[in-house]
């Protein structure tokens, strides 16, 4: 058996285009899972498209709660559909599925069609491919090792975190991750204006990459030591950020909808009916409280980055980018949020420290478990529209999963286990990064004690 496996490995590495094999595998897996959906999210995407169709834009009617980037992508896909395809109805309400809306979970009886699910997720297939390729290029640039670079591509492209987020949930975090990795590539290529533009696209899709902004600034000031050169490069990057932000928000400024672009910053902490007790207040504001501590921690990490004596500035930047993005996820993350972390972790595993593969494995298992929590509802599109499964049978399974006392149900246990593993994977990165430092400090303290 081992000889057979070794033979496959040898043939794979000797292929002219092993990346192509990984792309084919990744695309096939994605196309198999893309008809499924987190129906609550896909229903909102269908609502956004319907609002655009009636001329309401992104924010003039209820339904869109993010910055405009993903809305523009949905609008573009809708325009292509209207001009060339005409997919017809995007969603239908299943009367028997009304029980989902009263279940206490984020679910809806409105189920989007597999065709709509495919169409909204196809851009993310290209995005994921580019993200993995940029990861490949970064590892190749810093190690010169083709085998390691191919492994990095596979870790970034076939990670269940990414497959679940883009292939099933259909979230735009992949776009943010792609522009983040392209930002790093352009910074290393000394294309600061373009890097700033990509960084702006990244943080205006999902905000997580903004946490590595200080790491980028430290790199610039360490890299460009000639008088005034660092400030020149920083200003070029800032110009790219500003111009891109203006271009992204200009349509909304013209329509008077600029403040609605940032609605997501407040709807995360506002209770539906306002807080009713000190506990409610703490829960509703826990995200803000957590991110205050995260911001303080990032300042300490930045101080460490400034004092770092590492001579390979590029690898040092990648290390501190990973640390800061990891810190940004210390508030218990959902699967799609972790997407930004995956390519950085893939780079770190293959270019710096292979032991961090443990973190990748834990995140992979945790995300797979978490995504599959909603199996009985995420297959409803193929059950309702293609008739491949019995809708009533799925709803009965859903009821069984959610039957229990005091919230102890199979569904909730499943979710807690997956979420805990995801959080463990994120925490492991931080622990593994700083455990050697803690050991060194302990040894130094022990030696000092003996000397005294």
* Axis-axis angle for helices 357-371, 410-451 (nearest 10): 160
Which pTM does this prediction carry? Answer: 0.90
| Alpha-helical runs (H) found in 256-331 | 263-267, 278-307, 313-328
Q: How far apart are CA 186 and CA 300, in angstroms?
A: 26
Q: How far apart are CA 368 and CA 370, in angstroms?
A: 6
| Six token digits for residue 259 | 């403040």
Would you give the distance in Å from CA 26 to the centre of its chain? 17
Q: Confirm if 167 and 209 have CB atoms less than 8 A apart.
A: no
Is residue 64 very low, low, confident or very high in pLDDT (cuts 50, 70, 90)? confident
Q: What is the pLDDT of residues 246-264, one digit of tens each?
A: 999 999 888 888 888 777 6
Among 51-60, 114-123, 233-242, 413-422, whose mean pLDDT is lowest? 51-60
First-residue to last-residue Cα distance in the chain: 60
Residue 102's pLDDT is 86
CA atoms within 13 A on the CB side of 85: 13
Q: Which residues are 93's β-sheet partners?
A: 110
Beta-strand pair 91-93/110-112:
antiparallel
Torsion sign over Cα 113, 116, 118, 120: negative
Q: Is the pLDDT of residue 62 over 60?
A: yes
Q: What is the pLDDT of residues 91-149, one digit of tens each?
A: 899 999 999 998 888 899 999 999 999 999 999 999 999 999 999 999 999 999 999 99
Q: Which residues are 376's β-sheet partners?
A: none
């Amino acid at each position: 058996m081992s000889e057979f496996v070794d033979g496959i490995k040898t043939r794979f590495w000797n292929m002219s285009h092993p990346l192509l094999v990984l792309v084919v595998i990744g695309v096939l897996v994605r196309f198999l899972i893309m008809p499924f959906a987190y129906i609550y999210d896909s229903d909102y995407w269908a609502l956004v498209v319907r609002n655009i169709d009636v001329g309401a834009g992104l924010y003039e009617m209820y339904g869109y709660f993010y910055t405009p980037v993903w809305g523009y992508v949905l609008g573009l896909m809708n325009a292509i559909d209207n001009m060339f395809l005409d997919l017809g109805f995007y969603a239908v309400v299943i009367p028997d599925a009304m029980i989902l809306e009263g279940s206490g979970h984020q679910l809806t009886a409105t189920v989007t069609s597999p065709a709509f699910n495919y169409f909204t997720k196809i851009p993310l297939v290209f995005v994921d491919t580019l993200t993995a390729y940029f990861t490949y290029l970064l590892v190749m640039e810093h190690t010169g090792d083709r085998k390691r670079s191919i492994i990095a591509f596979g870790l970034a492209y076939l990670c269940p975190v990414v497959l679940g987020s883009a292939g099933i949930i259909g979230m735009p975090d992949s776009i943010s991750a792609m522009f983040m990795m392209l930002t790093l590539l352009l910074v290393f290529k000394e294309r600061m204006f373009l890097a700033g533009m990509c960084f702006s696209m990244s943080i205006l899709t999902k905000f997580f990459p903004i946490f590595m902004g200080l790491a980028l600034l430290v790199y610039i000031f360490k890299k460009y030591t000639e008088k005034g050169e660092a400030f020149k490069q920083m200003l070029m990057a800032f110009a790219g950020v500003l111009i891109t932000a203006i271009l992204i928000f200009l349509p909304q400024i013209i329509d008077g909808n600029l403040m609605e672009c940032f609605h997501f910053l407040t709807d995360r902490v506002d209770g539906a009916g306002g807080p009713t007790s000190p506990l409610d207040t703490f829960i509703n504001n826990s995200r803000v409280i957590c991110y205050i501590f995260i911001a303080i921690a990032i300042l300490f990490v930045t101080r460490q980055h400034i004092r770092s004596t590492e001579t390979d500035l590029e690898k040092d930047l990648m290390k501190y980018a990973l640390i800061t993005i990891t810190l940004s996820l210390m508030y218990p993350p959902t699967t799609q949020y972790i997407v930004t972390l995956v390519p950085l972790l893939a780079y770190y595993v293959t270019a710096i420290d292979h032991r961090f593969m443990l973190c990748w494995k834990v995140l992979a298992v945790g995300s797979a478990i978490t995504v599959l929590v909603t199996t009985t509802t995420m297959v409803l599109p193929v059950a309702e529209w293609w008739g491949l499964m019995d809708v009533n049978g799925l709803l009965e399974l859903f009821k069984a999963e959610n039957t229990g006392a005091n919230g102890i149900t199979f569904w909730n246990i499943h979710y807690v286990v997956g979420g805990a593993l995801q959080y463990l994977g994120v925490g492991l990165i931080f622990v593994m990064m700083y455990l050697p430092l803690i050991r060194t400090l302990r040894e130094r303290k022990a030696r000092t004690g003996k000397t005294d």
